[in-house]
Structure 1
């Protein structure tokens, strides 16, 4: 297994190529052009927020969608700590440093757009939102992969998970402006996951043992960012119950297309004993994940079937 400096050196040209592809593919956009400011109003001192305050163009949203909007925004708000972690892994020189700074700049506008929408529409309690933001950012809790290989795997899975969460939330909002904001943010996240996904694929070519060990670790321990958000567990339960993001989504829309198809873990060649043993554990974990996803889908279908 390669150490971090050796792996970064081996992948320098790949990082340059993927960065150039990203810059050629990404499009300039402006958060303020997606916020329906006309629905906003001046705050009233001492006013207590209620659901009736929301102006969602005639739509209504439930607690699960509000939980998802809060978690999605606060996850984006925690960007300073993600930047610190990724820069520590990649360094600040060459294509690696350029990518980290570009990625950070693009991620920063996500919170601008979502926050602007929520404040203009008052879709969620602004006082509660700010208190949660202060608590989370003051804590500074983020996932911290132990190795560069684990970092590649986690970032690929997490960016795709975030894209899915944003898109699913947008589809359940009913408000065209809210849908537009979430789709615009999800579009960025998709480009980010493509960078990390393909970077990890290249890493498999030069360090198959290290990457399979990293896959097994991250598939087994993966958690969405946001654990520092007050009430995160309850929010996550609501989000899962609504089908926005749950273990079934995680398996079918993230693990299967990335780990099994794109990275083709079952057919990776050149593994030593350590890599082979990790692959065996990983495939058992994937089989277990498939069973859990199947049960969740069966339970959801049963609940939707008329009595």
Structure 2
């Protein structure tokens, strides 16, 4: 049985792919500026500068949109933690290092524009938002189970695509063309990021099939979005799931399965015993998760029906 490739060997063998994907990304990435997506004419001073502090009635966002925008922004805010972790399983040199710097700069732009939008439009309480940012960033994001290049790229492939779906659906939930346009722009960036990581992972599957398959299965069967430790995460994520911003069915059908098909996971014939075992484990997880998604959808449908009936009684 051949020995697993070391992290150094993986980085060396996959660097040509990283360089190719970096160049592809730079050729496709569109230049844009956060200030062009913020309605500055809606802004006004807060009390410290002679204006009026935030009041809930000033927000035009629904509770679902507030939760989704806040969760997505606080997730982006933990960028220093992500930068540290991705640097640990990539290399600071060559194409790897250039990518880390570029990716970090682009992700930071997302936090800038989202915060500017929320503060200018008074979409959420800026004091609560800042307090949550301080708590969230002080705690940081730690993924001890992602040690190693293969687990790292498998995770960010899924995470970036999940973030893209969440941003797009959040834009719709805001019921504001300006927010929708801004989040479409962010989602387009996230999609390009996903493609970089997805293609690195595809090359890893060709290079070390069993090793990569084990990493993919480990990541998918234990997956949690990076914001899981933030303040009020459970409440916000449940609201998003109940109203279709991001739920278990979307995670399975719009995130997991597309990358599985792109990697040809269930069509490959190059796995050894370890890879086959991991693929079988993944297949069982997919089947179970599909059942869980169906149960969730049924429960949600009943909940929304009761909610609609209650509104009708109130309006009658």
Deviation of 1:272 after TM superposition, in Å, equals: 2.0
- Aligned residue for 1:253? 254
Q: How does 1:219-238 map to 2 (within 5 A)?
A: 219-238=220-239
SS at match of 2:47: coil
1:263 aligns with 2:266: no
Poorly superposed stretches of 4+, deviation over 6 Å: none
Aligned-partner Cα distance in 2 for 1:47–1:141: 35
SS at match of 1:91: coil
- Aligned residue for 1:155? 156
| Contact 1:156–1:196 (8 Å) recurs in 2 | yes
Say what the alpha-carbon RMSD is for the aligned residues: 1.7
Residue by residue, what CA displacement relative to the aligned partner does 1:71-92 show, whole Å, maximum 9, x if unpaired? 1111111111101100111111
| Contact 1:135–1:230 (8 Å) recurs in 2 | yes
SS at match of 2:266: helix
Aligned-partner Cα distance in 2 for 1:147–1:276: 21
| Contact 2:242–2:300 (8 Å) recurs in 1 | no
- Aligned residue for 1:49? 54
Q: How does 1:154-303 map to 2 (within 5 A)?
A: 154-259=155-260, 261-301=261-301
Aligned-partner Cα distance in 2 for 1:80–1:141: 9
Gaps of 5+ in 2: 310-316
- Aligned residue for 1:69? 69
Distance 1:143 1:64, change over 3 A: farther
Residue by residue, what CA displacement relative to the aligned partner does 1:102-135 show, whole Å, maximum 9, x if unpaired? 1111111001110110011010000000000000
Aligned-partner Cα distance in 1 for 2:238–2:296: 13
Aligned-partner Cα distance in 2 for 1:301–1:241: 9
Deviation of 1:2 after TM superposition, in Å, equals: 1.8
Deviation of 1:303 after TM superposition, in Å, equals: 5.3
| Contact 2:22–2:99 (8 Å) recurs in 1 | yes
Deviation of 1:197 after TM superposition, in Å, equals: 0.8
Deviation of 1:61 after TM superposition, in Å, equals: 2.6
| Contact 2:249–2:294 (8 Å) recurs in 1 | yes
| Contact 2:209–2:271 (8 Å) recurs in 1 | yes
Normalised TM-score (structure 2): 0.91
- Aligned residue for 1:57? none
SS at match of 1:11: helix
SS at match of 1:265: coil
1:22 aligns with 2:37: no
- Aligned residue for 2:314? none
Deviation of 1:279 after TM superposition, in Å, equals: 1.0
Stretch deviating more after TM superposition (271-280 or 245-254) = 271-280
Normalised TM-score (structure 1): 0.94
Deviation of 1:227 after TM superposition, in Å, equals: 2.2
Aligned-partner Cα distance in 1 for 2:53–2:285: 47
| Contact 2:210–2:275 (8 Å) recurs in 1 | yes
Deviation of 1:249 after TM superposition, in Å, equals: 0.8
Aligned-partner Cα distance in 1 for 2:34–2:43: 16
| Contact 2:198–2:259 (8 Å) recurs in 1 | yes
Stretch deviating more after TM superposition (225-234 or 296-305) = 296-305
- Aligned residue for 2:312? none
Aligned-partner Cα distance in 2 for 1:277–1:131: 46
Distance 1:282 1:222, change over 3 A: same
